[in-house]
Structure 1
Amino acid sequence: MTTATARTKTLDLIGNTPIVLLEGPSKAAGCEIWGKCEFANPGASVKDRAALWIIRDAEARGELLPGGTVVEGTAGNTGIGIALVANALGYRTIIVMPDNQSKEKMDTLRALGAELVLVPPTKFADPNHFVHTSRRLAEETPGAVWANQFDNVANRRAHIDATAPEIWEQLGGRIDGFTCAVGTGGTLAGTGMGLKAFDENIRIALTDPHGAALFNYYAHGELKAEGSSVAEGIGQGRITANLEGAPIDTQFRISDEEGLVWVARLLREEGLCLGLSSGINVAGAVELGRQLVAEGRENPRVATILCDTGFRYLSSLYNADWLRAKNLPVFDWLG
């Protein structure tokens, strides 16, 4: 009998996620499309990485002291990551979230012991926006720090330090492109910066949902939004501190309908239950792969982020009535 001797701290479970070759997207693109399985993190999303780096940074700067509180405004996944990391390190958590996000995210945050504050969704310019509300709560709460995921560059350092080197190593140093959507900008900017440090020729692409302004910004230099999207946690209307200096070479705009095609196919054909942001990312990766193939690159490889688990959207994305109410196609197996 073999006795296990290795010891792993719970926070060491964040990161080092698997990467998987996606067969359907690869056939559609005519090249290899790889998905980084961020749903394998303890909090089931890519946002665990930002949560850990932000909290460790606040500790290192002496702002977060024993028994303190972490306050954040989030669409849900960052809050879940912060709650788990804070629990492991002995901190309290207050999470401010728009009240139109999935019920599963709200229930998860409450189950993790976070204090959940729900606010109506509104534009960033409104002082009652969830980000501004979380900042005020942090200022009013003794011993609290504001995570500030949108403009705290510890967020993107998580991906410079870890996500990019993991992808590079897992693909044996052979990667031609990377793309994902933007919420805070930390994942795209940080992974892009990290990969460019290995090879400047890796093409970094923004995959933007409708209703966001960054596609037009990187294509034409103007922050201009068109259309709308029901995807949670992605879509941005400003250049956050995390996005400043991001090495974005090209951009794609992907509709919810396109993203849902890949959500359905990845579930039915490859056994991956994912959220809509992952479907949008995969659609963008297919477009990037086709672009690289058309330019004559030999068997290019493109990586993207599989952001979170679809189990977080059972009451929305995987609910026929909800899809009909949003005028979106209903997955055939839902009737």
Structure 2
Amino acid sequence: MTAHLPDNIIIEAKLERFNPGGSVKDRPALKMIRDGIASGELAPGKTILDSTSGNTGIALAMIGSALGYPVRLVMPGNVSDERKRICRAFGADLIFSDPLEGSDGSILKCRDIYELDKEYYFKPDQYNNPANPLAHEETTGPEIWRDTDGKITHFIASMGTSGTLVGTGRFLKRTNPDVQIVAAEPDSPFHGIEGLKHIESSIVPGVYDASVHDEKIGISTEDAYDFTQRLAREEGILSGLSCGCALAAALKLAERLAAAGKPGYIVAIFPDGGEKYLSTPVFSGETMHYADGI
């Protein structure tokens, strides 16, 4: 897919599927839980409660089971069956919000549940907890800087909570202000890219910091699907839809640099693997369904 690019433009992907829970969300989930235990907010007998599109829920369920905490998750009813089954396999209790309301619906439903019994729950609140981006500032950013020998010129991350983009971007900007931080997002409020938000039309996460990124690149659902499929069939990388979105943005950026005669060392985050999407239209061949920030 990059054969048409000049030799002085490199695209590399950081594959987060190899984390224990299978996604980039293991990082903030672990930090939020550790911080909750350290502060006393997460005490024995409490239940972990949060809204999720799937990956954070899987991470919370995995870590909660290992530490002996019950986990209750609120997610849109149309997330992939694989995500639901994995969460349940870890023992999590699932509550479903209206699929047409996307991730915003699960955020609001989770908020209502928490308000009814605050003493019973520990709510990591991934959309607003500073520990989310800080996890990436402390780990993801330094790993990328180390693994590229400081040669990275552009960093790309797709946005759900925006924690990966914001935290990694802060570290890279602090280390080298010339590194360009690029946000990849759906190009429309109504889209079919699971886990991602069209920020302008959604409940804006409290951790989102628009000053961190230098630009945003909008990606259509069709392009995200196409590049996710091509990653599997041409590169041997079975990935999730947000990976296809990030790759589409990376290629747009690379082609723009090539047209301007500029070099680039682009690193894109691939948040998860494709195993959780095998029943979805991206791999099943069924018709795509759109919602706001699924």
What's the counterpart of residue 233 of structure 1?
195
State how far apart, in whole Å, the 1-side matches of 2:279 and 2:162 are: 27
Cα distance per residue 1:146-167 (max 9 Å; x no partner)? 1111111110001101000000
Q: CA deviation at 1:125?
A: 11
Cα distance per residue 1:217-271 (max 9 Å; x no partner)? xxxxxxxxxxx32111101324322112541111211112222222122111221
> In the alignment, is the contact (CA less than 8 A) between 1:192 and 1:246 conserved in 2?
no
After TM superposition, the score normalised by the length of structure 2 is 0.90
SS in 1 for 2:156: strand
State how far apart, in whole Å, the 2-side matches of 1:289 and 1:125 are: 31
Larger radius of gyration, structure 1 or 2?
1
Q: How many residues align?
A: 283
State how far apart, in whole Å, the 1-side matches of 2:139 and 2:120 are: 29
SS in 1 for 2:36: helix
Q: 1:196 to 1:28 in 2, by over 3 A?
A: farther
Q: CA deviation at 1:144?
A: 1.5
What's the counterpart of residue 70 of structure 2?
92
What's the counterpart of residue 64 of structure 1?
42
State how far apart, in whole Å, the 2-side matches of 1:147 and 1:282 are: 30
> In the alignment, is the contact (CA less than 8 A) between 1:64 and 1:143 conserved in 2?
no
Q: Does 1:152 align with 2:129?
A: yes
What's the counterpart of residue 250 of structure 2?
285
State how far apart, in whole Å, the 1-side matches of 2:154 and 2:77 are: 36
State how far apart, in whole Å, the 1-side matches of 2:28 and 2:99 are: 23
Q: Does 1:108 align with 2:86?
A: yes
Q: 1:29 to 1:156 in 2, by over 3 A?
A: farther
What's the counterpart of residue 314 of structure 1?
278
> In the alignment, is the contact (CA less than 8 A) between 2:21 and 2:62 conserved in 1?
yes
Q: Which amino acid in the other structure matches residue 114 of structure 2? A: A
Q: 1:286 to 1:86 in 2, by over 3 A?
A: same
Q: 1:248 aligns with which of 183, 203, 213?
A: 213
In structure 1, the gaps of 5 or more residues are 1-23, 213-227, 328-335
Q: CA deviation at 1:56?
A: 1.2
Q: 1:42 to 1:233 in 2, by over 3 A?
A: same
Q: CA deviation at 1:98?
A: 0.8
What's the counterpart of residue 33 of structure 2?
55
Q: 1:248 to 1:265 in 2, by over 3 A?
A: same
In structure 2, the gaps of 5 or more residues are none
State how far apart, in whole Å, the 2-side matches of 1:148 and 1:271 are: 35
SS in 1 for 2:14: strand
Worse-superposed segment, 97-106 or 239-248: 239-248
User: Which structure has the higher relative contact order (CA within 8 Å, separation 6+)?
Assistant: 2
> In the alignment, is the contact (CA less than 8 A) between 2:75 and 2:103 conserved in 1?
no
State how far apart, in whole Å, the 2-side matches of 1:119 and 1:28 are: 44
Q: CA deviation at 1:295?
A: 4.3
> In the alignment, is the contact (CA less than 8 A) between 2:247 and 2:268 conserved in 1?
yes
After TM superposition, the score normalised by the length of structure 1 is 0.79
SS in 1 for 2:72: strand
Worse-superposed segment, 130-139 or 35-44: 130-139
SS in 1 for 2:45: coil
Q: Does 1:305 align with 2:269?
A: yes
> In the alignment, is the contact (CA less than 8 A) between 1:289 and 1:301 conserved in 2?
no
Q: Does 1:75 align with 2:53?
A: yes
State how far apart, in whole Å, the 2-side matches of 1:122 and 1:57 are: 33
Q: CA deviation at 1:122?
A: 4.8
Q: 1:65 to 1:29 in 2, by over 3 A?
A: farther
Q: CA deviation at 1:294?
A: 4.1
Task: Give matches, 1:1-335, under 5 Å.
Answer: 24=1, 26-30=2-6, 31-123=9-101, 129-139=105-115, 140=117, 142-212=119-189, 228-235=190-197, 236=199, 237-298=202-263, 300-316=264-280, 317-320=282-285, 322=286, 324=287, 326=289
Q: 1:92 to 1:211 in 2, by over 3 A?
A: same
- RMSD after superposition: 2.0
Q: CA deviation at 1:307?
A: 1.2
State how far apart, in whole Å, the 2-side matches of 1:244 and 1:161 are: 17
State how far apart, in whole Å, the 2-side matches of 1:28 and 1:117 are: 46
